[in-house]
Structure 1
Amino acid sequence: MPRNKSIILLSVGHACVDVYQGAVAALIPFFVAERAYTYAAASGVVLAASVLSSVAQPFFGALTDRHPIPWLLPVSTVLGGLGVALSGITGSYSLTLLFVALSGVGVAAYHPESARIARLASKGSHSSMGWFSLGGNVGFAMAPLLVTVVIATGGLRFSPLLILPALVGSALTLPVLRALERTPRPDGGKGAALGKDDWGSFVRLSLAVVCRSIAFVGLSTFIAFHAREQMDGGTAAGTAALFVLYLGGAVGTVVGSKLAHRWDRVTVVSMSYLTTVAAVAGVVFVPGPAIYLFVALTSIGLYVPFSLQVTLAQDYLPTRVGTASGITLGLMVSVGGLTSPLIGSIADATSLRTALTPLILMPALSWLLFRTLPEPTVPKPLLGGLDEDTTHGTGRTPTEHSRL
């Protein structure tokens, strides 16, 4: 199977999985409306999906470093969809938490192995990895629309219909896995690279990702409520804000991969975080329709680093690609949920704007952490697979990369 076809299938499959990360936040307004959840109770649902995902994702990453498990892709995709599909059919808060936690485990199992396979299929191309990440961002963006169409039609009892993307995504992974089986690698398919692990840089990168996650997950959990307050609107105003937040992520991922061809990844990520500080402030404090502009700018700024941080993590830990992918993706998409109950409690006690104000500091902290990071060298086995768009704009040939 041609590399581009594999990446396209992986990207669409990634979209089908990340629908369920976006779906949890998109379901929150409906849980509040039908079940009268408080802000704190609603954020507890996000926490349930985040806790197990945050813990399990690094575990699955370390596991795939030891033993590649390609069958995790179709199985975890179905598991992620099943949890969300079941979350709306019970009025029990405890069972709701259990089902979204099940979905979180499915999402956690998917990402490290899929990132490893995408790295093999892309042969180190930043553009190909960017397309893979873009799929997840599109899935995020489609989640509010999908949830709104399904749940607004028949209420939470229609949530079983939300499993359909999981079934499609699971089927799409099968041709890629068959192609990998027909192309055996001398390293056993692990994609191991020669080099020395730079744990110090990886830890600083991970801390920056934590700050980014707190900002993004905090906004995704409460932006629908905040937009409705600022616009004096109903559910549509909130759904539109969530859609813009997720759609901007798709734009940011493409922009990030393009900028990485002109400048090094650390510089691109660092400047993106710095400019995002003002955008988050605009979301929190600017009233009226302008909030949608600042939501879009915030999303783009937070997602320019997305795929670049994954490849940076992999290059900082070239002998532990699965671990690097698992930790980085786990922190980016789930650890922020750990702070959501705190934000919800502050909002219940004061106001939503007061609760969201500390999020302005998060991209600033990420910028400070990135300022001291080095640009890692390219792992040797990937050099042969570097295509023109991997080295474009750097002024270096693959041979020159190997001497860095």
Structure 2
Amino acid sequence: MASLSTDSDNSSAITPVKTSEPVQGFLITIVGATALAHGCNDMIQAVLPSIYPMLKASFTLTYAQIGLISLVYQITASLLQPWIGLYTDKHPQPFLLPAGMGVTLLGIGLLAIASNFMMILTAAALVGVGSSIFHPEASRIARMASGGRFGTAQSAFQVGGNAGSAFGPLLAALLIIPHGQLSVAWLMLCALVAIVILTKLSQWSARHGHAHMKRHGSAALQKLPKVKVLQALVVVSILMFAKFTYIASLSNYFTFYLVHRFSLPLEQAQMCLFAFLAAVAVGTFVGGPVGDRIGRKAVVWVSFLGVIPFSLLLPHVDLIWTIVLTILIGLILSSAFSALVVYAQEIVPGRAGMVAGIMFGTMFGIGGLAAAGLGKLADMYGINWVYSLCAFLPLLGFATLFMPNTKQKR
């Protein structure tokens, strides 16, 4: 059985915990089911920003109001997640998964029939609450089934969500925008499919999941000293801010940018957004397994530094190069998230649900605040100015210099 060691060069390095108990293999059926459910969940979520132009026209909304919809959704999707993860670390509640998707189902139904701005905000809040319940427990189930390949399992889980996010704009362009707001109700079928999958996963988790978690607990790493943990979390927070503020600028306002700057028809702009989100899914899929091999920190370096030249060029190129550069940005920048999640779980071992809740919650929270702030800036200075400003965000990736090492060698 292979041994693990770290590449840290000081006495505070993480050391492995040895055990003679066997570790189960990678349970691809369980991990695949969590990824599929994640895809359903995130496809529903992705439809919301994809229909912002339709809602803006139908209800005569400002960019600031569009940003407020994102803020309400993202905040409700973020605030509950760490607390749900912390509670279920101590008191597992696997059947929260289908219950959370039921809340999302209610949000979709309300969005389809919303007749005013407050109803839209309420619907966005319900979808956010459903998401906050889903992510910590589903991420934990993927980790349970990883067989110790935590990065690969997290990457597979996350790429399911990113694939769903990519298909959200496509679904909006082909089904919802041509047929109007009421057609949002078709998404309820997707939520029902997810409820069936999540019920099966909850049954597996209740019977076997936590036993698997205990078996491959041998692969967990001891805690860093508190000062190093604090340093690592500060760096991760900076990187999450840079990544998800930049992603929010593209996922929420890219269609507006294309329509405004290049006079692109809305349906074609949605296709461009789909191409970007599909690239995000591919990049996420690559990031986890690579992180298992070369270490989380190396993946983060490549992700942030590699995207800098493309982000700086983006506001100054023509339509074709805009599409090419956004695809490259999606591929490279997205590889960091799975690495950051597993890195955080390594520095705070034994709190997989809480850490997943914090990471996904932070992702949604930053995305919501960024969407609201960027919307206000777009009203004041124009959408082109916003993209010129966001081009500098990846430079914060140099904070990776201060990440304590947790790279594992086999």
Q: Quick check: TM above 0.5?
A: yes
Return structure 1 stretches of 4+ with deviation > 4 angstroms.
184-194
Aligned pair partner of 1:320 in 348, 351, 375: 351
Cα distance, 1:52 vs structure 2: 1.6
Match of 2:18 in 1: none
Partner of 2:164: 139
Which amino acid is 2:120 matched to? T
Please, which of 60, 74, 78 is the counterpart of residue 36 of structure 1? 60
Q: Are 1:204 and 1:373, in contact at CA under 8 Å, matched by a contact in 2?
A: yes
- Residue of structure 1 in register with 2:188 after alignment: 163
**Structure 1 stretch 92-101 or stretch 56-65: which is displaced more?**
56-65
The whole-number CA distance in structure 1 between the counterparts of 2:201 and 2:30 is 6
1:214 to partner: Cα distance:
0.9
AA partner of residue 316 (structure 1):
I
* 1: CA distance, partners of 2:105 / 2:307: 32
Choose from 173, 181, 204 the match for 1:148: 173
Structure 1 residue 289 displacement after superposition: 2.0
Q: Which residue of 2 aligns with 1:176?
A: 201
Alignment partner of 2:135 out of 93, 102, 111: 111
Query: Residue 187 and residue 261 in structure 1: after superposition, are their counterparts in 2 closer, same or farther (change >3 A)?
Result: closer
Structure 1 residue aligned with 2:15: none
Within a 5 Å distance, the mapping from 1:389-404 to structure 2 comes to: 396-397=409-410
In structure 1, the partner of 2:296 is 265
- Aligned partners of 1:285 and 1:353 also within 8 Å: no
User: What residue is the counterpart of 2:362 in the other structure?
Assistant: 331
1:175-219 C-alpha deviation (Å, 9 max, x unpaired): 322223332645997986562252431232123112211111122
The residue type paired with residue 369 of structure 1 is A
CA distance in 1, matches of 2:202, 2:182: 35
User: Does the CA-based 8 Å contact 2:108-2:187 persist in structure 1?
Assistant: yes
Number of the residue aligned with 1:47? 71
Q: Indicate if the aligned counterparts of 2:81 and 2:132 stay in contact, CA closer than 8 A.
A: yes
Matches within 5 A, 1:2-401: 3-125=27-149, 126-183=151-208, 185=210, 193=220, 195-196=222-223, 198-365=229-396, 367-376=397-406, 396-397=409-410
d(CA) in 1 for partners of 2:188, 2:202: 22
CA distance in 1, matches of 2:76, 2:390: 23
- Deviation of the 1:330 alpha carbon: 1.6
In the superposition, the TM-score normalised over structure 2's length comes to 0.86
Question: Pairwise CA RMSD of aligned residues?
Answer: 2.2
CA contact (8 A) 2:294 2:407 kept: no
Deviates more, 1:1-10 or 1:11-20: 1-10
Of residues 267-276 and 5-14 in structure 1, the stretch that sits farther from structure 2 once superposed is 267-276
TM-score, with length taken from structure 1: 0.87
Tell me if structure 1 keeps the 8 A contact 2:35–2:156: yes
Structure 1 residue identity aligned to 2:164 = G
Q: Which amino acid aligns with 1:372?
A: F
The CA distance in 1 between the partners of 2:287 and 2:134, in whole Å, is 23
Task: Tell me, in whole angstroms, the C-alpha distance in 2 between the residues paired with 1:133 and 1:205.
Answer: 18
Report if the CA contact (8 A) 2:378-2:385 is conserved: yes
Assess if the C-alpha contact under 8 Å between 1:78 and 1:163 holds in 2: no
Alpha-carbon distance between aligned partners in 1 of 2:102 and 2:216, rounded to the nearest angstrom: 26
| 300 and 186 in structure 1: CA distance in 2 versus 1, 3 angstrom threshold | closer
Which of structures 1 and 2 has the larger relative contact order (alpha carbons within 8 angstroms, sep 6+)?
A: 2
In the TM superposition, what whole-angstrom CA distance separates every residue of 1:317-372 from its partner, at most 9, and x where no partner exists? 1022212111111222442211222212221222211022221222211x122221
Q: How far has the Cα of 1:99 moved from its partner?
A: 0.9
Is 2:79–2:365's contact at 8 Å kept on the other side of the alignment? no
Structure 2: stretches of 5+ with no match in the other structure: 1-24
8 Å CA contact retained: 1:343, 1:356? no
Give the match's secondary structure for 1:376. Answer: coil
Post-superposition Cα deviations, 1:72-102, rounded to whole Å, max 9, x if no partner, equal 2112123224313422312211111111011
Deviations 1:240-263 (A, max 9, x none): 121122111111012213432542
In the TM superposition, residue 298 of structure 1 has moved relative to its aligned partner by 1.4
Q: Give the Cα separation in 2 of the matches to 1:296 and 1:154.
A: 29
Q: Structure 1: 5+ residue runs without aligned partners?
A: 379-395, 398-404
Q: Return closer, same or farther for 1:133/1:188 CA change in 2, 3 Å cut-off.
A: closer
Say if 1:127 and 1:58 are closer, same or farther in 2 by CA, change over 3 A.
same
Query: Quick one: distance in 2 between partners of 1:308 and 1:299?
Result: 16
Separation in 2, partners of 1:346, 1:263:
40
Change (3 A) 1:181 1:345: closer
* CA 1:121–1:188: 2 relative to 1, 3 Å: closer
Q: CA deviation at 1:21?
A: 2.6
Identity level (%): 28
